[in-house]
Amino acid sequence: MSKTISGFSKLSKSKKIDWIANTYFSNREHAKSIIKQYWNSNDKLQQLHDEFIENTITNYYLPLGVAPNFLINNTLYTIPMAIEESSVVAAASKAAKFWLDRGGFKTQVISTTKIGQVHFMHNGNVTELTNFFNAVKPKLLNAVKPISKNMEKRGGGILDIELRDKTNAIPNYYQLHVSFETVNAMGANFINSCLEQFAKTFKTEAETYTSFTTESKQIDIVMSILSNYVPDCLVRAEVSCKVEDLTENDDIPAEEFAKKFVQAVNIAEIEPYRAVTHNKGIMNGIDAVVLATGNDFRAIEAGVHAYAAKNGTYSSLSHAKIENDTFYFWMEIPLALGTVGGLTNLHPLVKLALEMLNNPSAQELMQIVAVAGLAQNFAALRSLTTTGIQQGHMKMHLMNILNQFEANTEEKTILTQQFKTQTVSHNAVLEALEKLRQ
């Protein structure tokens, strides 16, 4: 059967599934049963999911867990986390409990500015272009009034428009560099709508601008789009305590643990191979909360990693030091988040997650998400510098291995108890399970 098809998007869902099952699977009915197994029994809810994206055939579930005991600026939170990776929620919870008795997490939103750009080509005189921009800037702002009116009522809107000369990088290339405040919305649609109107007005006004020479009238719009690089949408999260209170376990003194911890962070600050994995651990916490609250984790990932390389070398997002017998661990990170619009108003579990967080503003959510990332990083570094990462991770992975071999409830109970004192590995679990079944 041909693997090409015309008009696929116009087929009903059942017809789409039939084609996929018949084209790609040897056991067609088994494939169909798995696809349908993940449908929601509530038809209205399933229709809602079907309409989130295009060509839907079923739902792809991720576990939604919670990490309690997060004390953030003297307020207690239980943080929802949607993620498939073992040990992430457990590690966050453990870090939260550790810092609960040491003053908790302190956070501060530093700035909330977001960026969008109109990219265009112009082969005329730069002075004429600059004069034109200064003359037309009020008209640009006026042209988006119908779009920005509601955002302005909520305290947001357009902060500024700059003309940026990028001809040193690409001949004839310029930008309208626009800064926005979108309050509680992530604001992608608002920003892009404003940018497209700016582009249209900018090009139209150029055609009738009398001070241009003929060649300068040519404004060639390439594209208008928001940027996911948001170095001025920044939040800080930190923890601190006396070094003597940084007790990890009986096997390592607090002073030694603090020193090794700071050394581990210092390594991630100067070694990109380590920094990427270090920051991935931070994103384990961040992505899980971003996803649970209906935000765009791909945009967050892109912006965060660009920020980690802002000085020309990819480096650690978090930092640590010992000063005056006090341990400090902190992070400043760009997070463009929203609590209104998009899935936040549509997905029932997203609405539940936000309610669990006391329906935060976008700025409050920035702080909660940053804390989840810092907690995850602390937990990872604590394991790495003491017992090693695999001991805790493989304990959490044990259940995945048992499920892979279809262990029943009794087998899981026995082997979970057995591996409390044994090293978990794929082969060790398989051998123990086979021995048990004999």
Catalytic residues: 85, 280, 296, 393
| Residue 118 host element (H or E) | strand 114-121
**Side chain identity at residue 78, one-letter code:** T
Please, which residues have CB within 8 angstroms of residue 169's CB and are 6 or more apart in sequence? Answer: none
What ranges make up the beta strands (E) of 124-232? 157-165, 173-181, 220-226
DSSP track, 239-288: EEEEGGG---BTTB-HHHHHHHHHHHHHHHHH-HHHHHHHHHHHHHHHHH
Using DSSP bridges, classify how beta strands 318-323 and 64-72 pair: parallel, antiparallel or unpaired. Answer: unpaired
| Residue 146 host element (H or E) | helix 145-153
Which token pair is 377? 């990083």
Interior/surface letters 35-48, b for 16+ CB within 10 angstroms, e for the rest: beeebeeeeeebee
* Interatomic CA distance for residues 375 and 408, integer angstroms: 34
Q: What share of the chain is helix, strand, coil (3-state, %, to 5)?
A: 50, 20, 30
Cα dihedral value 348, 349, 351, 354, nearest 10: 180
* Interatomic CA distance for residues 178 and 195, integer angstroms: 8
Long-range contacts from 271-275, C-beta under 8 angstroms, 24+ separation:
272/313, 272/314, 272/315, 275/308, 275/314, 275/315, 275/316
Burial class (CB in 10 A: 0-12, 13-18, 19+), 100: middle
Tell me if 19 sits within 8 A of 38, measured CB to CB. Answer: no
Tell me if 245 sits within 8 A of 326, measured CB to CB. Answer: no
Tell me if 122 sits within 8 A of 92, measured CB to CB. Answer: no
**Cα-trace Rg, the chain:** 27
Task: Tell me the torsion sign for CA atoms 255, 258, 259, 260.
Answer: positive
Tell me if 306 sits within 8 A of 352, measured CB to CB. Answer: no
